[in-house]
Amino acid sequence: MSRFLKKSLQKIAEYVPGEQPKDKKYIKLNTNESPFSPAKNVLKVINNKSLSTLNLYPDPKCENLKNALKDLYEIEAENIFVANGSDDILNFAFMAYKSKEGVMFPKISYGFYPVFAKLHGIKFTEVPLKDDFSIDINDYKNQNKMIVIANPNAPTGLILKVAEIEEILKTNKDNIVLIDEAYIDFGGESCYKLIKKYDNLLVVRTFSKSRCLAGGRLGYAIASKEIIKDLEKIKYSTNPYNINRLSLALGEETIKNDGYYKNKCQEIIKVREYTAKKLKEMGFFVLPSFANFIFIKNNSIKGEKLYLSLKEKGVLVRHFSVKEIEDFCRVTIGTKKQMDIFLKTVKEILSGE
Ligand SMILES: *Cc1c(COP(=O)(O)O)cnc(C)c1O
């Protein structure tokens, strides 16, 4: 770093994304992307005609995309904010909000939350999970802190029920409760309808996982009109054109093809259950997942060893060097074919081949 960087920024350890190695072709099960391409109609959106308009700025209001989302969720356009990936929205939310005592989130969760807290100088509290890796909602009741929870949580894949989230909302009327629903389409129930009852709820969603569009960088938030106005204020104070024309068009077409994505989610769920069953037969402990990944461990092999051995054999999964979960690997659910190769490779590793 240069000697010019602000002191406050020098100390920040930045977020480390999952590796995207180029040394060989891997079966990539490490960053929770979809193994499926976007819908056919979505692919057609990028053509010479759309490219030829790149001399013009995109619509800063993102009206078409908001209208598509509004119809899908039966809410008003003023309840929706769209941005350059949900990380963009999380950044804005941490920039905008904190309560008297800062912000709190589960200790084992999305690794970006503490980075954003540090970046924006907010005191943060990391709440341990229960022994079974679930979130104890009692820890989040009646707090003087902004609350951030990924639901389903990552990397565990475990989920809170909407009624449990409502308990948290009810007892934190003066704090923002941010629910990060990056993985909600893989079998969970969204809490977004609660925005009608709770003006402190901010639901964050992404096109990256269930909408097969990680490379397009699109995220959206659903919340009270007042919260949405806050987020718009930050966007217009930093980068009003934060979503490019092509991604906006891809997003609109994605929503029009919702059926395709629903089917793909069902397929992922089916393959997830199949993979979990096969792993259990091999002696693995598999947390019950409501996401497009599974969190697994086997007492006969260390998490890091399994990760490294799989990598050597061309299968990439994610291992976190964090004490509570160092025995585990997080495995993204790919196609049935990919998972069969993964399972076969695991079997080889366990039998010492
Ligand atoms: C993947 C992920 C995100 C980031 O999604 P983008 O929209 O690609 O920025 C946010 N939160 C959680 C919990 C995630 O796993």
Q: What are the pLDDT digits (tens) for 209-252?
A: 999 999 999 999 999 999 999 999 999 999 999 999 999 999 99
Report yes or no: 235 and 197 within 8 Å, Cβ to Cβ.
Answer: no
Spatial neighbors of 316 by CB under 8 A, at least 6 apart, are 19, 21, 26, 27, 28, 29, 30, 310
Mean pLDDT of 334-349: 98
Pocket lining: 208 vs ligand 1, CB cutoff 6 Å:
yes
Please classify residue 5 by burial: count the beta carbons closer than 10 Å to its beta carbon, then call 0-12 exposed, 13-18 middle and 19+ buried.
exposed
d(CA 135, CA 94): 21
Residue by residue, what is the 3-state secondary structure of the chain? CCCCCCHHHHCCCCCCCCCCCCCCCCEECCCCCCCCCCCHHHHCCCCHHHHHCCCCCCCCCCHHHHHHHHHHHCCCHHHEEEECCHHHHHHHHHHHCCECCEEEEECCCCCHHHHHHHHCCCCEEEECCCCCCCCCHHHHCCCCCEEEEECCCCCCCCCCCHHHHHHHHHCCCCCCEEEECCCCCCCCCCCHHHHHCCCCEEEEEECCCCCCCHHHCCEEEEECHHHHHHHHHHHHHHCCCCCCHHHHHHHHHHHHCHHHHHHHHHHHHHHHHHHHHHHHHCCCEECCCCCCEEEEEECCECHHHHHHHHHHCCEECECCCCHHHCCCEEEECCCHHHHHHHHHHHHHHHCCC
Residue to substitute in 15, 81, 84, 110 for testing ligand 1 pocket (most ligand atoms within 8 angstroms of CB): 110
Q: Mean of the pLDDT values across residues 178-191?
A: 98
Contact 106, 126 (CB under 8 A): yes
295 lines ligand 1 (CB under 6 A): no
Give CA–CA dist 246/186, Å, rounded.
26
Q: Give nearest CA residue, ligand 1 atom 2.
A: 182
> Does the Cβ of 30 fall within 6 Å of ligand 1?
no
C-beta of 182 in contact with ligand 1 (< 6 A): yes
With bands split at pLDDT 50, 70 and 90, how would you rate the model's confidence at 113? very high
Length of the chain: 353
Average pLDDT, the chain: 97
Average confidence (pLDDT) over 188-211:
98
Which residues neighbour 9 within 8 Å (Cβ) at sequence distance 6 or greater? 119
Per-residue pLDDT reduced to its tens digit, 127-167: 999 999 999 999 999 999 999 999 999 999 999 999 999 99
Question: Would the CB of 180 count as within 6 Å of ligand 1?
Answer: yes
Does 129 contact ligand 1 (Cβ within 6 A)?
no
> 193 CA to middle of ligand 1, Å?
21
> How many angstroms does the Cα of residue 87 sit away from the middle of ligand 1?
6
List the residue whose alpha carbon is closest to atom 14 of ligand 1.
182
- Which tens digits make up the pLDDT trace of 286-335? 999 999 999 999 999 999 999 999 999 999 999 999 999 999 999 999 99
- pTM of the model as a whole: 0.97
Nearest 10 degrees: CA dihedral of 338, 332, 30, 220? 130
Looking at residue 136, its pLDDT comes to: 98
Contact by Cβ (8 Å): 294, 157: yes
Atom of ligand 1 nearest to the CA of 153: 13
How much is the pLDDT for 319?
A: 96
Residue 334 pLDDT: 98
